[in-house]
C-alpha cells in the first residue's frame, strides 16, 4: 500500500545509455606579440562587422523552409564574399543561421515555460484560499492570491507576445550577449568602468572562426596550424591584405603555438580530417586563446547489461566529500571504500568546477584500475535526498536496487571510443 508520504514523490524513470560525444574541443593559449594582437583585433573587428550585417539580414527574412534557406545563404554568402573570401563568408552565413535557429528554439522553450506557469497558477486560483483539492492546494492568504492574480496577467501578456513572435518568425539575436548588454545600465553594481565594459563588448562581438575542410592541408585552409613546426597562419581578407607577412595574403603569428592537452589528437585530426579553429580574447586577463574542434566517429553505446556485467563503482554524494565503493554484479561491496574530499562552499564558479572535475577524475581513475576489467561509474539520486549510491541484484534492471534513481549513462573517459568507463548522473536541487 502506498502511504501519503510517498504518494507525492515524483516517479523514478528508468536509467538509459547515452551515446558517446559526437565532437571534441581543445583550447590553448596564444602568447601573441603587440603586432600579432593588432592584426587579430583588426581581423576580429572586420569579420564581426560582416557577421553583424549578415545576421541582421537573416533575422529580417524570418522563418524559411529548406529551399528558401539554401537560396538565402547563397545570396548572403555572395554579399559577404565581396569584403572577405568565400571561406570566411561560408563560416559567417553558417554562424548566422545557427544563431537564428537557436533564437527560434529559445522562443519555443520560453513559450512552453510561460504556458506551464500560467497553467499552474490557474489551477491554484480555482481553489478557495486555504483549501485543498486533491494534490493541488489553494493559496494561503487573500493577499497572496491577489498578488498571483496580478502576476498571471503579466505572464499572459508575455505569452501573447512570444506567441506572436513565433507565429511571425520574428527572432532577435543580441551579438555579444544580452546579459552583457544589460550590464551597461548597471556598471556600478557590476564593478566595471565604462571603458572596461566597452572593451568587453567589443571583444564579445569580434569574430575569428574558420570551419574545417577535410581535403585541405592540416584540415583548414583559412586558419592553419602546423603540429610539427608549431606555427599558426591566418588567411586575411582582401581589405586587410596589407597586414600580411606571408605570401598569398597570409599572416603567421610570431609566437609558437602548441596544444599541451590532447595535442596528439589535434595533430592526428589535422593530418587526416577537418579541424575548426576559433580565436577568442579574454579582456579581463588580457589573453588570447585558440580552440580546435572536430567531429568524432559515430560509435554505438554499450548496453546496460554489458555495463553491469563487471560490477559498478557506486558513489554517494555527501556534504564535503564523496563516498565510493566497488560493487559486484550481485550488489555486494568489494574491496575498501574510498573517500574523496569535495569542498565547494564559498568558492567561485571556476574554482568549484575545478574541484568537481578533480573529484570526478579521481573516480574515473578508480573505476579504471579497480578491477581486472574496467568498471562503469554509477551514481543515482533519491527524490528529495540528493544523489545516493545504488546497487542491483542479479537479473534486475538498473534502477531496481534499494536507492532507485534515474539518470543517464555516458562515457566517463576523456578519450572517445574507449568504451571502458561509464558514468550516470542526475543532479537534484540539493547538488546544483
Domain boundaries, the chain: 301-425
The 10 Å Cβ neighbour count of residue 132 is 10
- Contact 206/281 with Cβ under 8 angstroms? yes
Instruction: Return the pLDDT at 13.
Output: 77
Which range is least confidently modeled, 6-15, 319-328, 333-342, 357-366? 6-15
Does residue 387 surpass a pLDDT of 90? no
Other beta carbons less than 10 A from residue 349's beta carbon: 8
In this model, does residue 278 exceed pLDDT 80? yes
> Residue 4 — pLDDT band, cuts 50, 70, 90?
low
User: Grid coordinates representing 74?
Assistant: 547563397
What share of the chain in percent tops pLDDT 70? 84
Q: What is the pLDDT of residue 315?
A: 86
**Better-scored residue on pLDDT, 353 or 371:** 353
Burial of 19 (0-12, 13-18, 19+ CB in 10 A): exposed
Identify the weakest region by mean pLDDT among 67-71, 309-313, 380-384, 427-431: 427-431
pLDDT at 7: 57
Quote the CA–CA distance of 343 and 355 in Å, as a whole number: 8
DSSP states of 260-321 as a string?
SSSHHHHHHHHHHS--EEEEEEETTTTEEEEEEEEEPPP-PPPPHHHHHTT-EEEEEEETEE
CA distance 21 to 23: 6
Q: Which residue has the higher pLDDT, 70 or 377?
A: 70
The answer to whether residues 127 and 138 touch, using CB atoms and an 8 Å cutoff, is yes
∠ at Cα 175 (170, 178), nearest 5°? 80
Average pLDDT over residues 40-66: 95
Residues 291, 309 contacting (CB under 8 angstroms): no
The answer, yes or no, to whether residue 295 has pLDDT greater than 70, is yes
Q: Is 70 exceeded by the pLDDT of residue 342?
A: yes
370 falls in which pLDDT band (50, 70, 90)? low
User: Of 367, 373, 385, whose CA–CA distance to 424 is shortest?
Assistant: 367
In this prediction, residue 69 has a pLDDT band, given cuts at 50, 70 and 90, of: very high
Contact 289/29 with Cβ under 8 angstroms? Answer: yes
Average pLDDT (96-123) is 95
Q: Are the C-beta atoms of residues 116 and 79 closer than 8 Å to each other?
A: no
CATH code linked to domain 301-425: 3.30.70
pLDDT number for residue 2:
52
pLDDT of residue 369: 73
CA 56 to chain centre: 25
Q: Give the pLDDT confidence score for residue 386 in this predicted structure.
A: 41
User: What is the distance in angstroms between the CA of the first residue and the CA of the last residue of the chain?
Assistant: 33
pLDDT of residue 419 exceeding 60, the answer is: no
- How would residue 206 be classed by pLDDT, with cut points 50, 70 and 90? very high
124: closest CA among 111, 114, 135? 135
- Assign 371 a pLDDT band (cuts: 50, 70, 90): very low
Angle of the 34-61 helix axis to the 66-81 helix axis, nearest 10 = 140
Separation CA 362–CA 353 (nearest Å)? 14
What share of the chain has pLDDT > 90, as a percent?
60
Closest CA to 314 of 295, 334, 299: 334
At residue 216 the predicted structure's pLDDT band, cuts being 50, 70 and 90, is confident
Q: Is the pLDDT of residue 430 over 80?
A: no
Q: pLDDT digits over 130-187, tens only?
A: 899 888 899 999 999 999 999 999 999 999 999 999 999 999 899 999 999 999 999 9
3-state secondary structure of 379: strand
Mean pLDDT along residues 89-118: 96
Strand order in the sheet with 232-235: 223-225, 232-235, 250-252
Inform me whether the pLDDT recorded for 379 exceeds 60.
Answer: no
The predicted model gives 367-383 an average pLDDT of: 50
Chain segment 226-254, per-residue pLDDT in tens = 999 999 999 999 999 999 999 999 999 99
What is the mean pLDDT of the segment spanning 50-63? 94
pLDDT at position 412: 37
Q: Is the pLDDT confidence value at 190 over 60?
A: yes
Per-residue model confidence (pLDDT) at position 427? 36
pLDDT at 425 over 80: no
Which candidate, 332, 339, 397, 384, places its Cα nearest to that of 363? 339
Give the model's pLDDT for residue 399. 35
Amino acid at each position: 500500500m502506498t502511504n501519503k508520504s510517498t504518494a507525492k514523490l515524483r516517479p523514478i524513470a528508468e536509467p538509459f545509455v547515452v551515446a558517446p560525444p559526437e565532437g571534441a574541443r581543445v583550447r590553448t593559449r596564444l602568447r601573441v606579440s603587440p603586432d600579432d594582437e593588432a592584426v587579430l583585433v583588426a581581423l576580429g573587428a572586420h569579420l564581426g562587422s560582416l557577421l553583424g550585417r549578415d545576421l541582421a539580414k537573416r533575422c529580417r527574412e524570418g522563418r524559411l523552409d529548406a529551399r528558401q534557406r539554401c537560396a538565402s545563404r547563397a545570396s548572403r554568402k555572395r554579399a559577404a564574399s565581396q569584403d572577405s573570401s568565400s571561406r570566411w563568408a561560408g563560416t559567417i552565413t553558417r554562424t548566422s543561421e545557427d544563431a537564428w535557429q537557436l533564437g527560434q528554439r529559445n522562443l519555443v522553450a520560453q513559450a512552453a515555460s510561460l504556458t506551464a506557469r500560467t497553467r499552474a497558477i490557474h489551477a491554484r486560483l480555482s481553489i478557495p484560499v486555504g483549501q485543498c483539492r486533491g494534490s493541488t492546494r489553494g493559496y494561503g492568504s487573500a493577499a497572496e492570491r491577489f498578488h498571483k492574480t496580478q502576476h498571471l496577467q503579466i505572464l499572459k501578456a508575455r505569452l501573447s507576445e512570444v506567441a506572436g513572435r513565433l507565429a511571425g518568425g520574428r527572432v532577435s539575436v543580441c551579438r555579444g550577449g544580452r546579459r552583457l548588454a544589460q550590464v551597461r545600465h548597471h556598471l556600478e553594481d557590476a564593478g566595471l568602468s565604462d571603458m572596461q565594459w566597452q572593451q568587453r563588448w567589443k571583444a564579445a562581438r569580434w569574430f575569428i572562426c574558420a570551419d574545417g575542410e577535410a581535403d585541405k592541408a592540416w584540415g583548414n585552409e583559412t586558419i592553419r596550424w602546423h603540429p610539427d613546426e608549431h606555427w599558426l597562419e591566418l588567411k586575411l581578407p582582401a581589405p586587410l591584405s596589407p597586414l600580411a607577412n606571408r605570401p598569398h595574403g597570409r599572416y603567421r603569428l610570431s609566437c609558437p603555438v602548441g596544444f599541451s592537452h590532447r595535442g596528439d589528437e589535434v595533430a592526428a585530426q589535422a593530418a587526416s580530417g577537418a579541424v575548426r579553429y576559433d580565436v577568442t580574447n579574454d579582456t579581463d586577463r588580457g589573453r588570447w586563446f585558440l580552440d580546435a574542434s572536430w567531429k568524432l566517429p559515430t560509435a554505438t553505446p554499450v548496453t546496460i547489461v554489458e555495463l553491469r556485467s563487471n560490477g559498478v563503482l557506486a558513489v554517494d554524494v555527501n556534504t564535503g566529500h564523496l563516498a565510493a565503493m566497488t560493487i559486484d554484479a550481485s550488489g555486494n561491496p568489494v574491496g575498501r571504500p574510498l573517500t574523496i574530499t569535495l569542498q565547494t562552499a564559498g568558492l567561485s564558479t571556476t574554482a568549484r568546477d575545478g574541484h568537481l572535475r578533480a573529484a570526478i577524475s579521481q573516480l574515473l581513475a578508480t573505476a579504471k584500475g579497480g578491477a581486472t576489467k574496467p568498471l562503469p561509474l554509477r551514481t543515482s539520486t533519491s527524490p528529495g535526498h540528493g544523489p545516493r549510491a545504488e546497487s542491483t541484484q542479479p537479473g534486475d534492471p538498473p534502477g531496481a536496487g534499494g536507492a532507485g534513481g534515474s539518470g543517464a549513462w555516458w562515457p566517463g573517459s576523456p578519450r572517445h571510443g574507449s568504451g571502458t568507463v561509464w558514468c550516470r548522473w542526475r543532479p537534484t536541487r540539493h547538488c546544483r
